Amino acid sequence: MGIMENKKKLGMEFFGVMVIVMVAYSGERSPMLTGLTAGLMYTMAMGISGGHLNPAITIGLMATKKMEAEEGGQYVAAQVLGAFAAFLMADIVLGNEIASAATTGGMLELWQDMAAMTFAGFILMIVWITTLNDNKTGFAMGGFAVGMIYWMLESSGFAAWNPGAHFAQGLWTSIMNTSLTIDLGTFWIFWIFPTVGILLGMVIWDWFEAEEDEKMDVVETEE
């Protein structure tokens, strides 16, 4: 990958995450506006960087050897920095008070959060992988579908499923409170379970494609 192409991809990942997070935390939080913004950003990013905009997708691709570790690490860094820049803009420039990053409660809430993050990652991956290699119309439909997922999650009050944004939020509030500490006791949950959902979606999709290829081979052999 050339230097200019690399900068373009990383810039898109940074910008896309920054815009989504900034809209999500600017003024009165609007799930509809956040969903529409996410849809637009994913539509733009799919044709430039592949449209990750979430470390869980990047980590999933690295874990399945579909992305080099070096490139994936750069993507994750760009995503986290984009989210951090968004909180900086929302807090200092726009004057919005940033709440501390979400944590988990008791055992029941913990299991609910795990299930919700896994399911969100799974659905996101199915939508993402079905449109990534499509034409521009496919990118638009995929972006719209991802935007609907954001809208529904925001409306339900469950927004902490992007580990990069969650980590940046915790880091920013820690710095602003001058404590410089992040509760790592639960932060790992927000990284592992969206990624588990992403990996599950990849495995099922690869199995489905393998089944379809096998059927096609049988048909071609019979002909």
Query: The domain containing residue 11 runs over which residues?
Result: 3-222
Query: What percent of the residues of the chain are helix, what percent strand, and what percent coil, each to the nearest 5?
Result: 75, 0, 25
Please state, in angstroms and rounded to a whole number, the distance separating the CA atoms of residues 220 and 223.
5
Average of pLDDT values for 91-101?
Answer: 75
Highest mean pLDDT among 76-80, 84-88, 89-93, 118-122: 76-80
Q: Which residue has the higher pLDDT, 26 or 166?
A: 166
In 21-32, which positions are buried (b, 16+ CB within 10 angstroms) versus exposed (e)? bbbbbbeeebbe
Q: Which residue has the higher pLDDT, 124 or 186?
A: 124
Here the contacts of 106-115 (C-beta below 8 Å, separation 24 or greater) are 110/189, 113/158, 113/189, 113/193, 114/189, 114/193
Q: What tens digit of pLDDT does each residue of 205-221 get?
A: 888 777 666 655 555 55
pLDDT band for position 33 (cuts 50, 70, 90): confident
pLDDT higher than 90, residue 77: yes
How many percent of the chain have pLDDT more than 70? 77
DSSP count for the chain of H helices, then E strands: 9, 0
Please state, in angstroms and rounded to a whole number, the distance separating the CA atoms of residues 135 and 187.
37
Sequence-separated (6 or more) residues with CB below 8 Å from residue 178: none
Q: What would you measure as the largest C-alpha separation in the chain, in angstroms?
A: 71
Sequence-separated (6 or more) residues with CB below 8 Å from residue 22: 86, 89, 90
pLDDT higher than 80, residue 80: yes
How far, in whole angstroms, is CA 199 from its chain's centroid? Answer: 13
Average of pLDDT values for 84-98?
Answer: 82
Average of pLDDT values for 136-144?
Answer: 64
pLDDT higher than 90, residue 9: yes
Average of pLDDT values for 147-164?
Answer: 73
C-alpha R_g of the chain: 18
Looking at residue 82, what is its pLDDT?
A: 96
Question: Which CATH number goes with the domain that contains 57?
Answer: 1.20.1080.10
Sequence-separated (6 or more) residues with CB below 8 Å from residue 186: 103, 104
Residue written as token pair 């979400």? 102
Q: What tens digit of pLDDT does each residue of 177-205 get?
A: 766 556 666 678 888 888 999 999 888 88
> Looking at the 3D structure of the chain, how many domains does it have?
1
160, 101 contact by CB (below 8 A): yes
Phi, psi of 156 (to 5 degrees): -80, -5
84, 172 contact by CB (below 8 A): yes
Q: What tens digit of pLDDT does each residue of 36-53 get?
A: 888 889 888 888 888 899
Please state, in angstroms and rounded to a whole number, the distance separating the CA atoms of residues 85 and 218.
53
* Average pLDDT along the chain: 80
